[in-house]
Structure 1
């Protein structure tokens, strides 16, 4: 199944790479989001491959919603994670594919077609980038730590976002706001960044990335410090999480401003 997920990610990713430098015409553009026909074509390619090999499996994807067939296997797909980046010509986006089996995420693939980076993980088997095993960083100094802030669409005001992120901007080396969550989790897995603060992002954006990060040794908790346990799929909500390489986790969590 992991090889089929990689095949689907490559098939979609190569299309997105071809279209990336073209003049893109959105189907819909709002103050904080954009919908592109490239999203739909990437999704079509992924679903074609998954259903060719696994015709009875259910798929949940951003554009098509829930294509319900059987409950035991559920593919969670973001055909273009980082659509806003893609639209403005910023080369930081990916294809994200995860598989849930009987309520548990068992594999994840995140493919960055611009950099030819194929991240993947299977539960209990570690995580990899282009065949090289990944491990989180061992950084212990907060002032040298680099992190990323992820939030869902329309989940809070800009004032709230500024309040939550201000301590991290002031007390750590750098806080990224990349608007491509799946790849951010992969940066954590590789040790390129040291922490993630995530506020109510959608499951399709992060399901694969969380598994990849955890298989690389990342510590993941909710904002109250309880270990993250994946719950069976629910498209309506997803918890706010803190993730880190480990040594700085409690310091990062204590910097949160609770409402």
Structure 2
């Protein structure tokens, strides 16, 4: 299954990379989002591969919603994570696929075609980047820590975002806002980032990345410090999480102002 997920990601990624240098024409441009035909074609390619190999599996994807088949297996697909980045020519985007089996995520693939980065993980088997095993870093100095902020598209106002992120902007080396959350979790997994704070974000964008980070040794909790437990997929589920290399976790969590 992990190899088929990689195949689907590569097939979609080849198309996205081919189109990346073009001046794109959106289907719709909103105040905080953009809809591209490239999103739909990436999705079509992913679903083509998954249905060919697993015709009985259910698929949820950003553009078409739920294609219901066998409820035991559910593919959670983001065909273009970081659409706004892709639209403006910023090469920080990915294809994200996670497989949920009976309510538990068992594999995840996140692929950045421009950088040639294929991240993947299977539950209990570790996390990898292009075949190299991943592990979080051991940084213990909060003032030198680099993190990223992830928020829900329509669940957090700009005023709430400013208030929430201020302590991290002032108290750590740098807080990034990359707007491609699947990749953010992979950067934590490979020790490039030290922490992530996530505020009311849908699980579709991050399910694969969370598994990859977990398998690389990241500590993930809710804002109260309770260990993260994946809930059966729902579009209404908007968790708020903090993740880190483990060493910095409590220091980061203490900076959260609800």
Question: Could you say whether these structures have the same fold, taking a TM-score greater than 0.5 normalized by the shorter chain as the test?
Answer: yes
Partner in structure 2 of residue 229 of structure 1: 229
1:105-254 equivalences under 5 Å are: 105-254=105-254
Partner Cα distance (1:106, 1:36) in 2 = 30
Paired positions, count: 258
**Residue 40 (structure 1) aligns with:** 40
Q: Displacement of 1:47 after TM fit? A: 0.2
Alpha-carbon separation, structure 1, partners of 2:182 and 2:46: 17
Aligned to 2:3: 3
SS of match in other structure, 1:204 = coil
**Cα offset for 1:71?**
0.3
Deviation of the 1:21 alpha carbon: 0.6
- Which contiguous aligned blocks of 4+ residues in structure 1 show a shift greater than 2 angstroms? none
- The residue correspondences of 1:53-132 to structure 2 (distance < 5 A) are 53-132=53-132
Deviations 1:97-143 (A, max 9, x none): 00000100000000000000000000000000000000001000001
Deviation at 1:70, TM superposition (A): 1.1
Helix, strand or coil: the match of 1:242?
A: strand
Determine the C-alpha separation between the residues in 2 that align with 1:214 and 1:238. 19
Q: Aligned partners of 1:238 and 1:158: how far apart in 2? A: 17
Contiguous gaps of at least 5 residues in structure 1: none
SS in 2 for 1:99: strand
How far, CA to CA, are the matches of 1:69 and 1:110 in structure 2? 24
SS of the counterpart of 1:77? strand
The offset of 1:156, in angstroms, is 1.8
Contact 2:203–2:239, Cα closer than 8 Å, also in 1: no
Provide the rounded CA distance (Å) in 1 between the counterparts of 2:200 and 2:104: 19
2:156 and 2:199 in contact (8 A); partners too:
no
Deviation at 1:32, TM superposition (A): 0.2
Q: Residue 235 of structure 1: CA displacement? A: 1.3
How far is the alpha carbon of 1:238 from its aligned partner?
A: 2.5
Measured after TM superposition, the shift of residue 202 of structure 1 is: 1.4
Partners of 1:240 and 1:252 in 2: CA distance: 14
Q: How far does the alpha carbon of each residue in 1:67-107 deviate from its partner, in whole angstroms, 9 at most, with x for none? A: 00110100000000000000011110000000000100000
d(CA) in 2 for partners of 1:151, 1:59 = 24
Q: How much has 1:33 moved relative to structure 2?
A: 0.2
| Unaligned residue ranges in structure 2 (runs of 5+) | none
Deviation of 1:152 after TM superposition, in Å, equals: 0.8
